[in-house]
Amino acid sequence: MQVGHEFADADRMSDRFAVVLKEAVCAERGRLNITQQALADRMGWSRGQVTCVESGARRIHAHELPDLCRALEVRLSDLIGRASPEDRYWLS
């Protein structure tokens, strides 16, 4: 049963971290004062993909994080730093 509990914890962390990332994308895009289209262009995405990320309808995949950080001109540690200490524990 312990294994199932660990997966449930990981799922909850994943959900919380997804919220942290979507909020970070919105905040960083605002800091840069760029449109969703401008971020999409930097990422090679459609504006709809950015909209879905910011609304929570689409999660950011791990392999997309380096490009996202470059597009937002921010370090990954700064995005992760927005997570709670509990969530950061799961990422270490």
Pick the closest to residue 60 from 10, 9, 86, 26 (CA basis): 26
Q: pTM of the entire structure?
A: 0.78
Domains, the chain, ordered by start: 2-82 (1.10.260.40)
Q: Which residues of the chain are modeled with pLDDT < 70? A: 1-13, 87-92
Q: What is the per-residue pLDDT for 28?
A: 94
Res 14: pLDDT: 76
Angle at 2 between CA 5 and CA 87, to 5 degrees: 45
